Each structure stands twice: as C-alpha cells, then as structure tokens.
Copies of this chain bind each other. A is one copy, B any other.
Amino acid sequence: MAGPGRGVTIADVAARAGVAASTVSYVISGKRSISPETAGRVMQAVADLGYHPHAGARSLASRRAGVIAMMFPIRDGMHLPVLMQFAAGAVAEARRHDQDVLLMTADEGPAGLARVAASAMVDGLILMDVEVRDPRVEVLRRLGLPNVLIGFPADSKDLTCVDLDFTAAGRACADYLADRGCGDIALLGAAEAVYERRTGFAERVREGFLGRPGVRAEVRPCPNYPTEVQRAVKELLAARPDLTGLAVHNEPAVGHVMHALADAGKRVGEDFHVVVIGPDEVAERVHPQLPSVLVPAETLAQTAVRHLMRKLDGLDVPDSTLLEPQLTIR
C-alpha cells in the first residue's frame, strides 16, 4: 500500500493499466471524459502501485502547488489555544480540498510573502491576526497572490476579510450586563501588548462594549498570570467601587478573576455579573458557570479556507464576512 520502491511515476501507472500517461492524468483530474472501463483499470493501477503524483512536477506543469500558506502570529499576549484550534480547523478544511498547509510565522514579514509568492510554492495565503495598520497588507495587494485575511486592516478595500463580529460581541456583553441592571461595568481584555499593536479585534470589542448608552463602561487590558490578574481585579474594584458587571476577554485569566472576585466578597450571579468572551470550556469550568460569547475559531478557519479555495477557482467571494456572535447563557 505504501509502495515499496521509491518513485512510482505516472508512466508506471500507465504501463500497468495499458494506457497513455496522459490518459492517467485525465482520469485523475477528471478534465476529459474517459470510459468507465479505462478509468477503472487506471484507478486499480493507482491503488496497486500506491501512486501519488509528484508534487513538484505537478506544480511545474499545472501552475498549481496544492499548498496554501498560513502566516501565524506567534507573539506576546495572543491567546494560544484559540490559535491552535484555528490551525487545526484550517488544516482539516484544506485537506478536504486536497491542499496542504505551509506554516509561516509573522517574523518573516512582508519579505516572506514575496518569497513564497515568487517561488510559486503556494497558491494562496491566509493571514492571521491582522493589525489595523499592517505592513504585510500592502505587499499582499501588489503580489496578486490570492489571499484571505483573518481580521480587518484599516483599509480593507479589495481584500477578502473574515472575522467574528467583535464589535457585536462587545455590544452583546455590555447589553447582557446592562439588562441585568448593571449601570457600571468594565471589560478586562487581552494583555497590554495586544492593544499597543492595535490588533483589530481588541479595538472592535472595545468599541462595541463602550457603545451602550446609559451605562458607565470602561475597558482595561489584563495580564495573563495569576498574581497579576488578582492585582488587576483588585485595582479595578478599588477604582470603581460601584462596579457590578464585568466582561472578561482573556481566557487564562477567567479562573483567577473569579477567585479575586470571591476574595473581594462579590457574589457572582447575584449582586455581581460576569460574562466571558472565549471558549465554552473556560466559561463552564468555573463556579458558577458563566455566560459567554464563543470565538468560533474553527468555523472562522473553515470559512477562510473555503473562501480562499473559491478564489483559487476563480469564483467570487464576499469582501467581508462577519460571523455573528452568539451569547450563551448558562
């Protein structure tokens, strides 16, 4: 099955099936009609020999590499588990379209994009963690390499962007808290670095959260580590003694926030309300369980890959796709 000797070529398959190499190619690609008998014999030969087309040869001849690149942020303050989910979702979806995924890191920057584009190593590109002013975007535009962005740069004209509607997510949190009578609310967000970079989603959450009229609201960055989270919560409570509602958009912090609130004598779900933006597990596995807005990393990744595939096939896709956030009450 795995083929013993190295290098089963299309010629080997053709010989075994008693047809021309081009016929084998057409059977595999389905680009010309082939009689069922011939096709059957060819497929059999393919299976018998464990044939897989040589990727390089194929890309050379067809100008399609069968690979897409994902440029990953590996940076301070990014929320890792979500990234992993994203990667897993993207690879899974790409494989469904018979594509592989090349992993790039943001360190390579714009030059990396130019490199993979010029070497025809990949057919398309998914760019993650897009910043409001992102130098890579400009390069991408003139490269002409089909691409999809996760996130929205300042000027998203002519680009295909996909993201959760973070503004709506922020608004949903504010609404949830306000509806429970909180007139004084705050959001603990990602680490400071994320804000400094002007990562799109952080700004949009803020915008949505602060937009609710008739409520006093504030957004603060929040570190990821136990003692610092505790301190941040303490400071917040000291600064805003009338605070009764809190949104947390920082996964590893949630458990510690809950602790700090308990230490401060707040009874969550009674005189104090908390809502989470993050994975279900995080919201479920604290006591009490919290309402939450899911960041649908896997769906996002799938959508991005699908859009990219459509672009590769010359089909059109919406310029901008915003996934509707869903607030789950527990």
Contacts and interface: CB of A to CB of B under 8 A. Distances in A.
A107 to B, nearest CB: 7
A15 interface: no
Contacts of A286: 225-227
Nearest to A65: B56
Interface in A196-230: 225-228
Nearest to A51: B118
A256 interface: yes
B3 A102 contact: no
A121 interface: yes
Interface string A63-76: 00101001010100
A83 to B, nearest CB: 7
Contacts of A330: none
Interface in A214-263: 225-228, 252, 254-256, 258-259
A201 to B, nearest CB: 18
Interface stretch (A27-35, A88-96, A319-327): A88-96
Contact of A144 (B6, B92, B285): B6
A91 B103 contact: yes
A228 B88 CA distance: 26
